[in-house]
Each structure stands twice: as structure tokens, then as C-alpha cells.
Structure 1
């Protein structure tokens, strides 16, 4: 019996670790574009899930942005059905007309389709093929954009979106290993031309920045960036827990948040409280920025009678009788 190729073993072990503690009776769905990362993830899941007594399904999204995209999605679906995935869905989405740049619009459309499909099949989890290299790119982009600790925490291995657990088993697996795993299994991944398009910041980081860092600082830079994300994520989770408790304690019986309670908090906790409260009021998470939170914080720490702070969604927050309150719209 031929020895199992180490990259194949690495991907399977990563999937097994992620699925071992999973609850729920529904299938696990793999989001698969046909690229090397998601293809290696799908092949590993098809092997591992049945051995854990779990059904595995697959969903592929057709963004409709390139010629032949529908045929490519159909080919991925046929391959998946052929190796035993059930259910299998190829879902078309419309990207045009969505807010934000093309990357953000495609991502929003993709996640909406993936989550809707997972909910329809009552899936126990949705598996995503992001690798250690994707994590390193995310950290660098967040650093360049001034993303703060939450941005530097990168992509979480586990999170929930609209009630669907999203799992990223491959965050400790390199992109090179997913390519080698596909080659060892005789799989031919699709090469997305967008991944090499210099019009996209992530593509430039992938093609130019990370290779330059690896040459200057050594190949361990990828692991170090990914480890930084894990460390910052742990700290951020702890601060978020403190902020949740502080938000509850700062609520005023008369409504809003008590300024004295907010002023007593450490700045890192207070700004998280204000961010969470603004979202609770209805401010869009995508539109809520550092500028908005800083203005809210000034109502607490730099009060000199200034007017209400304008938040996304037409919301206005004012300081009134020692409280931050949602002001009446004008």
C-alpha cells in the first residue's frame, strides 16, 4: 500500500480536528470554488466526514463574473456528486449593483448564498478553505489599513453567521500544501484569474509583498503572521467579554448609557462598549467606523456641550442628563 502523501495527510488531519468536536446532526457543507484550497478541503472532507459518522455536502457559487463560470460551477458540482457528496448545490448569484468595490460585493453575495444554502439543508457547519497564507495576507492588509486589533486578529477559525457555524480548518495549512495535496490526489484545480489581477490589493500582497517579506525576513514570516492573528484574536475575545459585561453595567434605568459608568472604563473596553451599542442601535457594522466611535467617546471623555454624533443609518446620539441617548431624528 502506497504511503499517504504528507500534504494530503496534513489537510485530512486539519479537517478531522475541526469536525471532531462538532455538534448537530445535519451535514457539513464544503464551500468549493474549484480552486486548490477548497478542492483539497473538499477531498479531505469527503474522506474524513463519513469516518466520523457525518454526512458531507458541497456548495459552489457562480458569481457570473467571468465567461464559462456557470459551466465551471456545474463541473465542480458533478465532481462532488461523483465522489459521494450529498447534498450538492451550484448556486448562481448577482454581484452587480451591490454596494462597495467588486471584491466586497462578490464576497457579500457569496456569503449570503452559502449561508442560505446551509440553512436550507440544516447544515451542522459550513467549511471554508482559507489557508495560513490567506490569514497572513489578511493580517498585512489590516495592518496597512489601520484595522486595529480586530483586523489584526484575522479570520477566526470558528464563527457564526446568521445562525450558521463557519469553520476554517486550514488556517494552519499552507497554500503550497493544498496544491501538493491536489496533485497527489490527481485533482486539477481551477486558477481564478482574479487572484493574479493587480487591480486587487490582496492580489498585489500575494504576488509582491509576501514574497518580498519572505526574502527579507525568511520563510517563517507566514507562520509568524498567522500566529500573530491567533494571539491578537485571543486578546480581542477577552476584551470583548469585558466589554459585554461593561455594556450591561452601563445601561441606565432611564434608557441609554450612563456617562459616569462609561468614563470609569479603560479606553480599550469603553470604545468596544460604544461600538457594540452603536450596532445595537441599528448602525450598519460595515459603515460604522473608527471615526464614529471616536466621536461617541468624545461625548464621554471630551464633553464641552457639543451636539449629537451622527451614526450610519441616520442615527443621532446625544449626551443628555448624564446619559448617552438616541436622539430624535431631525
Structure 2
């Protein structure tokens, strides 16, 4: 399909072109397509800029008529020039709420279907601003407000510098009517309220430019975080000995470096749901040792909890049986 030389679609094409040049030089990729404006404009631009594009459409089966929506999206992908289009039907279940369960099912299906191709996602600058705000609300350190990466294999996000309004305008330039997911306007979801209530209010009170400022903040923190991660990797190579932490060695590192080492070590040991309070309690075993007892962390089994103990100057992770009442 020959795309028009209009401002919005050209901006999106340039963003996709730059992403391909940096991350996918062979131009063989997949696009996650929902039929909404963001992913539809992305699919059109990718089909024009990449050598081969495979459209992947996930049908969550959460709404009546979802199969028809998915089939329409697949047809549009072929009309836009995608080499192929496949509908992936998933079962949404699990803990953490509907939004989280749907996301988990969607990413798993995309990962299975992509083969060796990276998958482009239609996240925009507005999505990035929402992500940074959500991270800020958790108060769990700089990492939580990094936002999304332009490329975190296999997921690519070429549109993180493009406004949502631009993708809608691009669809208008292409003569396409994007699908409007009712979930995207439901106040039952936190992201929707951020999008429709919080960010507009911030823009009004602070005089505009808030979404861009939040996105830039996330990017700057992510760049600085990458440097700290590299320093932490060097510290871990000295402090982690046979799966244990040498507390005396690690105590010489600065607090952000220590906590990065501990976080990676705990996750590798099977910790789950690791929060700021737990991480700081473990850090106290290193830097503020007063003979305190074991620190319980998320993980373990129904009969035994996962704990971190300090013995003879070393930290280790192990299971401790739950006391029966």
C-alpha cells in the first residue's frame, strides 16, 4: 500500500525507520496489532519501512464480538502490506486483576508466535508518561519510574516519542477507522483514570508539557540506572561468593549499588514480589548489622518461607519452616 505524504504518518514512519536502523537491520519483524489507532498506525508504517512484517493479533475473548474485531484487524494488516497476519486466541486467567492477567496472556502468546522476530508494540509518549506516573506512585526507587525501554528484546517500542494524537491523525490520513476498545474508556482501570483525569489536570495546572517531561524524566533515570547497574555488576563479582554475600565486602559499596546487588541476588534465589521495605531490611543486614534475626522475603513454599540470614559475615537465602499454631 502506497502511504500518503502527510505529516502524522510521516512522523511515525521516521520513528519506525530510525528504530529499524538501530535495532533490526535486516528489517524482518513482527507487529502486535489490536486494531486500535496506535498499533494500526504502527503496522502501516512498519509495512512501509521494513522488509518483512508479520502482524500478530491477540484475541483475549473478553468481549462479545472479539473474534470479529481480530479478523478485521488481520484483514487490515494484509491490506496495509504486512506479509502475513495471524490471530492468537488466549485464555485470560490468574491473579492480579483482569488488566494484569490479560497483559500476561498477551505477551506470552506474542512471544510464542514471533519466532525469532522482534515484536513492535504501539506504546506512545502518552503511555510512557502514564507508566512513569504509576511507578512514581509505588515509591519503590528510581527503577520503578524508568518507564519503558525503546528496545528490551524481543519487545520494540518505536513510538515512545510520538503523541497518541499523532497516531489518531495518521489513521485519519490513511482513511482508517481504528477500533475503540471499551476497556480504554472504563474508569475501572487505573491507567484509564490517569489518561482521562490525572494527566489532563496536571497539564492544566502546570501549563502543559507534562507528558513529555515525565517521559524525559524516565529516560534520564533509565540512562543513569544503566550506569549504576554496571557498577553493581562489578561489585557483585567481588561480593557474591558461592551463592552467598560477603557482607564486609558489599558494605564498602554505596547504598544504591548495594541494593542493586542484593536485588539481583535475591531474585536469582527465587524471591518474588520484592518490595522496598524488604530490600532495605536485607540491606540492614549488610550495612547496619546489630545481630538482628532473619528477614523474610516473598517466595518459598506453603510450608516454609524464604528468609535471608547473616552468619559469620555472610548472607545466605534459605527456607525456614512455618511455625504451626
TM-score (norm 2): 0.92
2:111 pairs with one of 102, 109, 115: 115
Query: In structure 2, what is the Cα distance between the partners aligned to 1:293 and 1:132?
Result: 31
Cα displacement (A) at 1:66: 0.9
- Where does structure 1 lack aligned partners over 5 or more consecutive residues? none
Cα displacement (A) at 1:312: 2.0
- Where does structure 2 lack aligned partners over 5 or more consecutive residues? 301-305
Q: How does 1:177-196 map to 2 (within 5 A)?
A: 177-196=166-185
CA RMSD of aligned residues (A): 1.8
Cα displacement (A) at 1:76: 0.8
Number of the residue aligned with 1:320: 311
Q: Deviations over 1:225-247 (max 9, x none)?
A: 11111111111111111111111
**Residue 271 in structure 1 maps to residue 267 in structure 2:** no
Moved more, 144-153 or 188-197: 144-153
Query: In structure 2, what is the Cα distance between the partners aligned to 1:22 and 1:228?
Result: 23
1:27–1:122 Cα contact (<8 Å) kept:
no
Number of the residue aligned with 2:233: 244
Moved more, 307-316 or 29-38: 307-316
Number of the residue aligned with 1:66: 63
Query: In structure 1, what is the Cα distance between the partners aligned to 2:312 and 2:318?
Result: 13
Query: In structure 2, what is the Cα distance between the partners aligned to 1:112 and 1:133?
Result: 24
Secondary structure of 1:43 counterpart: helix
Q: How does 1:1-330 map to 2 (within 5 A)?
A: 4-23=5-24, 27-49=28-50, 54-96=51-93, 98-118=94-114, 121-123=115-117, 125-160=118-153, 165-252=154-241, 255-284=243-272, 287-314=273-300, 315-330=306-321
Secondary structure of 1:316 counterpart: strand
Query: In structure 2, what is the Cα distance between the partners aligned to 1:293 and 1:328?
Result: 17
Q: Deviations over 1:282-328 (max 9, x none)?
A: 223xx121122112112112322222222222122210111001235
Number of the residue aligned with 2:303: none
Q: Deviations over 1:82-141 (max 9, x none)?
A: 333233211111112x121111111111111111111xx321x11000000111111112
Secondary structure of 2:175 counterpart: coil
Aligned residues: 315
Secondary structure of 2:264 counterpart: helix
Cα displacement (A) at 1:2: 10
